[in-house]
Amino acid sequence: MTVTEGRRPVVAVLYREALPPRLDEIEELAEVRLTKADGLAEAMAGADVLYQWHSFSPALKENWDAASSLEWVHVSAAGVSQLLFDGLIRSNIVYTNSRGILSRAIAEFVLGFVLDMAKDAQGSFRLQQQQRWQHRVTRKIQGQRALVVGTGSIGRETARLFRAVGMEVSGAGRTGRPQDDDFDVVYSSKDLASAVQDFDYLVLAAPLTAATKGLVDADVLAAMKPSARLINVGRGELVQTDALTEALVSGSIAGAALDVVHPEPLPEGHPLWDMGNVIITPHMSGDTEDYLDDLGKLFVDNLRLFIEGRPLQNVVDKSLGFVSVP
């Protein structure tokens, strides 16, 4: 994959409202066509690259017939399963995502959830609002056991932070294995119901695929310890929401911290909103103050590689729906 010598590549940039950062650097390297979804077909005519800054727009699928000259599509998101479609999967277009850019921030968020629940920060805040000085005891996290579903960059960063505070960490992924650099052991996610019973925290950081959709169902939740907590920073559809609601109401599990839900946003009046043992945040775990610039830098770095004809970073295995790393 290379650009003809002497010709600048044509990059169509799909955005919704704000333009991407580092646009001046992109313009130094390529001819840039800025477009919103309604102008994408025209912008892609003769273009080599689509930079999908509007991460979850379905516009590429809707204008697929106009994408005949594309060699590379880059998406400013890590999870791309909802963006893939048959024509794109079968094509020779190289597809890259933003894997790794948000991983540390999301891992920090997960650790924050663990500390919040172990130290009952929500309970302290409620008592503060009532101006009540009520002494309680809390749990330590040293020695607690976590099972992280998803052994990609987010799962591994999470495991490293957990280990740093003295937790024991195992993983679950597409294939099980007895040894791993970051996990005590990696279970097959197909066997999740038989693996969860000894863990204090079940953390979901996996991509959404046909194999992981609804992975945490009533059987998995029933197999968890009554004192265990569920944390989801992956995708809302990894969990069967009705089954989770029932498990929390019945006391089958002790609590949940959810940065993603299904449906999203969670409808007004849904029972999860009012549960004292549930923390809900609006799909923000990776969004730090500087994350947009970090996403922009990744594309610029990849664009330089594209122009030089070198392998790109974060190439998605389109048949799997994520970057496959040995």
Instruction: Name the H helices within 165-240.
Output: 192-195, 218-223
Instruction: Say if residue 275 is in the same domain as residue 172.
Output: yes
- pTM exceeds 0.85, yes or no: yes
- Residue 11 confidence (pLDDT): 98
Percent of the chain as helix, strand, coil, to the nearest 5: 35, 15, 45
Number of C-beta neighbours around residue 274 at 10 A: 8
Q: How many distinct structural domains can be found in the chain?
A: 2
User: Average pLDDT per run of 10 along the chain, which is 326 residues long?
Assistant: 71 97 98 98 98 95 97 94 93 97 97 98 96 97 98 96 98 94 96 97 95 97 98 97 98 98 97 97 96 97 97 95 81
DSSP per residue, 117-173: HHTTHHHHHHHHHTT----------TT-EEEEE--SHHHHHHHHHHHHTT-EEEEEE
Contact at 8 Å (CB) between 192 and 139? no
Three-class DSSP category at 67: coil
- Residue 90 falls inside a structural domain: yes
Helix, strand, or coil (residue 179): coil
Confidence (pLDDT) at 324: 82
- Co-location of 80 and 15 in the same domain: yes
Q: How many H-runs (helices) and E-runs (strands) does the chain carry?
A: 11, 12
Q: Is 283 a catalytic residue?
A: yes
- Is 264 considered catalytic here? yes
Residue 35 pairs in a beta bridge with 14
108 and 195 in a common domain: yes
Report the CATH number that the domain containing residue 65 is assigned in CATH. Answer: 3.40.50.720
Q: Which residue has the tokens 């609002």?
A: 129
Task: Pick the closest to residue 96 from 86, 84, 109 (CA basis).
Answer: 84
* DSSP state string for 15-66: -SSSPPTTHHHHHHHSEEEEE-GGGHHHHHTT-SEEEE-STT--HHHHTGGG
* Region for residue 141 given its phi and psi (left: phi exceeds 0; alpha: psi -120 to 50; beta: otherwise): alpha
CA 165 to chain centre: 23
Q: Has residue 220 been placed in a domain?
A: yes
16, 126, 139, 264: which one is catalytic? 264
Catalytic residue among 74, 156, 235, 262: 235
| 325 inside domain | no
163 & 257 share domain: yes
Per-residue pLDDT, 269: 97
Pairing of strands 168-173, 186-188: parallel
The pLDDT score that the predictor gives to residue 81 is 82
pLDDT of residue 325: 74
In which domain, by residue range, is 113 found? 103-280
- Asked if the structure places residue 117 within a domain, the reply is yes
Same-domain pairing of 161 and 124: yes
Task: Clarify whether residues 157 and 49 are in a common domain.
Answer: no
Q: Which residue has the tokens 């979804």?
A: 37
* Residue 262 is among the residues annotated as catalytic for this protein: no
Q: Which of the 8 DSSP states describes residue 308?
A: H
Q: What is the pLDDT of residue 29?
A: 98
Packing angle, helices 103-118 and 121-129, rounded to 10: 60
Together in a domain, 30 and 142: no
Q: For tokens 């999908």, what's the residue?
A: 52
Residues 67 and 185 both lie in one domain: no
What gap in Å lies between CA 265 and CA 182, rounded to an integer? Answer: 33
pLDDT of 326 reads 63
Q: How far apart are the first and last CA of the chain?
A: 23
